[in-house]
């Protein structure tokens, strides 16, 4: 079980994590929460119905990580031939009505990671076995994906070739710790996907 998820009887997944691994995942999840920002509830007026009808931003975020986490819905090579103006208008409208919910989902996933790590009872070596319910496993999977997207954006990973270049970075490269985290999280994510497959 060390370093990879395994299925639990009755559903869910488990992984043994040492003290350093717990600290790294928790720190990355906290940073992701800070990047995503507070939910509308923190800034909402006293009227609880106002939050239900709050509209999100209509412009894409300027931060490359947030652009990766919240991409335009109507742009890119797979979109039908539309004028750039039409693509921007459709993307803007879609973002306005969906981004708040997307951010809330990503916040919930990151919070599930943090809370489940905080609830661990460490063994004598500081490590612990994390056991997740099926629902928590799915939230962890989405959070691991978001963490990898965020780190990948910082490392300018766009395609498989970029990932291959990361393996060849010299040890003295300042990006090396981030690369190791990116690759390690990818391994965790892959074993969690395998665990959740029927």
Residue 53's pLDDT is 53
Q: Which of 105, 133, 123, 101 has the alpha carbon at shortest distance from 14?
A: 133
Q: Is residue 142 part of a domain?
A: yes
113: in domain: yes
What's the pLDDT at 44?
52
Domain that includes residue 110, residue range: 6-42+102-196
Consecutive 10-residue runs of the chain (198 residues): their mean pLDDT? 82 94 96 86 55 62 85 63 69 75 93 96 84 97 96 88 83 91 94 91
Helices 134-154 and 19-36: crossing angle, nearest 10°?
Answer: 70
Asked whether the whole model's pTM tops 0.85, one would answer no
Q: Is residue 192 part of a domain?
A: yes
d(CA 193, CA 13): 10
In a domain, residue 154? The reply is: yes
Any domain includes 185 = yes
Q: Report yes or no on 76 lying in a domain.
A: no
Q: Is residue 145 part of a domain?
A: yes
pLDDT at 190: 96
Check residue 17 and give its pLDDT. Answer: 94
pLDDT of residue 77: 55
Does residue 93 form part of some domain?
no
Q: What is the 3-state secondary structure (H, E, C) of the chain?
A: CECCCEECCCCCEEEEECHHHHHHHHHHHHHHHHHHCCCHHHHCCCCHHHHHCCCCCCCCCCCHHHHHHCCCCCCCCCCCCCCHHHHHHHHHHHHHHHHHHHHHHHHHHHHHHHHHHHCCCCCCCCCEEEEECHHHHHHHHHHHHHHHHHHHHHCCCCCHHHHHHHHCCCCCCCCHHHHHHHHHHHHHHHHHHHHHCC
Specify burial of residue 75 (Cβ count, 10 A radius: 0-12, 13-18, 19+): middle
The pLDDT, as a whole number, for residue 178 is: 93
How many structural domains does the chain have? 1
């Amino acid at each position: 079980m060390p370093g990879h998820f395994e299925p639990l009887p009755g559903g869910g997944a488990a992984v043994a994590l040492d003290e350093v691994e717990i600290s790294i995942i928790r720190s990355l999840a906290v940073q992701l929460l800070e990047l995503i920002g507070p939910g509308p509830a923190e800034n909402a007026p006293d009227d609880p119905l106002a939050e239900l009808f709050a509209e999100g931003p209509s412009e894409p975020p300027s931060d490359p990580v947030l652009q990766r986490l919240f991409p335009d819905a109507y742009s890119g090579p797979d979109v039908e031939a539309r004028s750039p103006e039409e693509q921007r208008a459709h993307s803007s409208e879609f973002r306005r009505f969906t981004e708040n919910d997307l951010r809330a989902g990503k916040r919930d996933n990151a919070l599930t990671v943090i809370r489940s790590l905080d609830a661990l009872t460490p063994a004598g070596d500081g490590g612990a076995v994390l056991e997740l319910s099926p629902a928590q496993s799915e939230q962890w999977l989405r959070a691991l994906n978001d963490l990898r997207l965020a780190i990948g954006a910082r490392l300018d990973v766009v395609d498989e070739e970029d990932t291959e270049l990361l393996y060849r970075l010299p040890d003295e490269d300042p990006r090396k710790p981030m690369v190791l985290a990116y690759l390690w999280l990818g391994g965790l994510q892959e074993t969690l996907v395998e665990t959740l497959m029927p």
